[in-house]
Amino acid sequence: MNKTHDIVVAGGGHNGLTAAAYLAKAGLNVAVVEKKSYVGGGAVTLEPNLKGFKHDIASGAHIFIQANPLIRQDELNLVSKYGLKYIYFEENPSVSVVFPDNTYISLYKDLDKTCQSIAKFSAHDAEAYKRFAEWAQPLLGMLMQGFFAPPAPFGALFAQLDQQGQGQDLMRALNMSSLDIIDDWFEDDRVKATLARFVSEVIVSPDDIGTGAFFFIMVPLLHTYGMAIPEGGSGALSEALKRSIEANGGTIYLDSMVKKFEKSGDKVAGVIIESGEKIMAKKAVVANMHVKQLPGLLDKGDLNQDFLRRLNGVKSSIFSCFNQSMSLNEAPNFIAGDEVNRSGLVELADFLPEMRQSFDGYKYGKKDGSMPVCITGSIFDPKRAPEGKHSLYLFQYNPFNIEGGPQQWDSEKEAVAKEVLESLRSRTTNMSDDNIIGNTIWSPYDFSKFNDAWINGDPLHMRNMMAQFFSHRPFAGSGYYKMPMEGLYLCGPSTHPGGGVTGGARGTAMVLMEELGLDFDHVIEN
């Protein structure tokens, strides 16, 4: 028997759950349809090698979502009612960047502590960093206003920015690389390398034109909202959203792969799952998918040629993700010392020239193991590992397309994993084989198979660049939440504000509520 709801959300990643949770709170009968036996997409915590060792697969730390009213004002009661608890790095460094000689710079939420760490290498740059962070702060407020809501058209955004000096500087940054902006402000190469490595966490090369805006965002974001990990793992966010949906009468269908959108005339009116069952939507279908998946779920001719032409031009990120889920007897002990051991993220970095060469090499399919990021969440959250043991998230950038094609990763990932581990061993005292009691390797090709929406192994769906950002995501003229087919809406990394753990589908919910005559402000106040 077919089932009918007001809204059907196709895809149970954290963005699909976010949209569904807002809509369910508004009193709509919402269903989420998910292929896997669990929800969360990339915001999941699994036990891939040993029981009791909980590992985040693709989202190790939550940064951008800390600025989202979803969390900041607890709009869905995830914290007050549904069990979500964030662990913040208030006293400990959020990030420490460690160089090959085991010198390091630590970035704290506290601005003064960060400047003290930078001052070890350059008094000038410590002062410059403080000036920059304080100067960029008002810009953060301007940007965040439209970050978790439908963005202004580019023309209106630029017109607003052009009215003030700081806005004009941001317009300049939108057309420059992060390193260009960093060069404007700082002198010391280690300071430059630290900040470039930090900005690259949004899966961009710091040399790429159009990434300067991320430097403007990430520095004040860190010092305003801080960085956090959910207690119990990244999947705790998704589970809290699931509880919110169900508490408000929503339904979650697991093990239900969407094979096609069902139509009623020219309107998308539901989904057909693999079993052949139809789950119908009276009001709308929200696709939490890669925008490039849509043509395969519709009939030929449903999308006009101009839409398809622009869709074909969507560019994937230049590099992808290579991760190891390591179960350990002991947490890594860094030669650099206790301050690094207490850090939320430890980013291993080459010196600036070698770092730039590594990022450049990804464009040409060059495999790399020199710059992993280490998150040992169990140091701060004992729920992630058995007593006295630890779970390590060991993440490294790498290209999807390598010589021989992406399938070649199946035979080469072991060697690259060893190279990554050797980079970690060079900065630690205790990462010998007898400390590692379990390990699962995730190559870029593995990621493309793990999640159907991660085309080319890209969890961001598409490259972070100005041509695919703000109102031009997924592309100019796309409607960015509302698709050309009546009744079909889009959420997730293919829409503003892009990939990562953002809760950005709040914007999709706002658009859909407005079209349905529902007052978003009234919903979140109750």
DSSP letter, residue 482 = B
Percent of the chain clearing pLDDT 90 (strictly above) = 88
What pairs with residue 237 in β-bridges?
none
Check residue 201 and give its pLDDT. Answer: 93
Are 130 and 448 within 8 A, CB to CB? Answer: no
Please compute the mean of the pLDDT values over residues 170-180 and round it to a whole number. 87
pLDDT of residue 138: 84
pLDDT tens-place string over residues 122-154: 999 999 999 999 988 888 877 777 899 998 887
- The CA distances from residue 339 to 34, 116, 226, 336, 372, in Å, are 42, 13, 17, 8, 18
User: Cβ neighbours of residue 485 under 8 Å, at least 6 residues apart?
Assistant: 261, 266, 267, 268, 298, 302, 303
Q: Is 202 helix (H, G, I), strand (E, B) or coil?
A: helix
Instruction: For residues 240-246, give the mean pLDDT.
Output: 98
Cα–Cα distance, 323 to 326 (Å, whole number):
9
- CA distances 417 to 87, 389, 397, 489, Å, are 29, 21, 12, 39
Decide if 285 contacts 261 (C-beta within 8 A).
yes
Which residues, 6 or more positions from 217, have their beta carbon under 8 angstroms from its beta carbon?
A: 140, 143
Six-digit token pair at 296? 């395969």
CA distance 523 to 321: 38
CA 483 to mean position of chain CA atoms: 23
Residue type, 194: T
DSSP assignments along 152-170, one per residue: PPHHHHHHHHTTSHHHHHH
- Cα(first)–Cα(last) distance of the chain, in Å? 35
In the beta sheet, which residues pair with residue 490? 287
Q: How high is the pLDDT of residue 152?
A: 85
pLDDT of residue 429: 98
Q: What is the pLDDT of residue 1?
A: 67
Query: In this predicted structure, what is the pLDDT of residue 171?
Result: 83
Calculate the alpha carbon distances from 280 to 35, 189, 264, 274 in Å.
17, 57, 10, 14
The answer to whether residue 302 scores a pLDDT higher than 80 is yes
Q: 235-247 vs 14-25: helix axis angle to the nearest 10?
A: 30
- Residue position matching structure tokens 């260009």: 180
CATH architecture of 3-43+63-80+233-315+454-525: 3-Layer(bba) Sandwich (3.50)
How confident is residue 465, by pLDDT bands cut at 50, 70 and 90? confident
Q: What is the pLDDT of residues 266-301, one digit of tens each?
A: 999 999 999 999 999 999 999 999 999 999 999 999
Find the mean pLDDT for residues 107-127: 98
Average pLDDT, the chain: 95
Q: In this predicted structure, what is the pLDDT of residue 131?
A: 96
Contacts of 150-155 with CB under 8 Å at 24 or more apart are 150/480, 150/481, 150/496, 150/507, 150/510, 150/511, 151/470, 151/471, 151/480, 151/496, 151/497, 151/507, 152/470, 152/471, 153/471, 154/470, 154/471, 154/472, 154/476
Question: Which amino acid, 504?
Answer: G
Q: How confident is the model at residue 452 (pLDDT cuts 50, 70, 90)?
A: very high
Contacts of 514 (CB under 8 A, 6+ apart): 520
pLDDT confidence of residue 243? 98
Residue 176's nearest CA partner among 216, 143, 142, 224 is 216
**Closest to 478 measured CA to CA, from 330, 285, 308, 225:** 308
The pLDDT value given to residue 524: 96
Angle at 462 between CA 458 and CA 466, to 5 degrees: 145
Q: Does residue 90 have a pLDDT over 80?
A: yes
d(CA 202, CA 228): 16
Q: What is the pLDDT of residues 401-436, one digit of tens each?
A: 999 999 999 999 999 999 999 999 999 999 999 999
Q: Are 30 and 23 in contact (CB under 8 A)?
A: yes
- Report the pLDDT averaged over residues 234-257: 98
**Six token digits for residue 445:** 């090709």
Q: If you ran DSSP here, which 8-state letter would residue 70 be given?
A: H
pLDDT at 159: 83
Token readout for 37 is 């036996």
Per the listing, tokens 């304080």 go with: 134
pLDDT over 70, % of the chain:
100
Residue ranges in 120-211 assigned as alpha helix (H): 123-145, 154-161, 165-174, 178-185, 189-199
Q: What is the pLDDT of residue 155?
A: 80
Residues 6+ apart with CB under 8 A from 202: 214, 218, 460, 464, 499, 500
Q: What is the reported pLDDT for 216? A: 86
Local confidence band at 169 (pLDDT 50, 70, 90 cut-offs)? confident
Annotated domain spans of the chain: 3-43+63-80+233-315+454-525, 110-227, 316-450
Q: Minimal CA–CA distance to 191: which of 133, 94, 124?
A: 124
* H or E segment and range at residue 247: helix 235-247
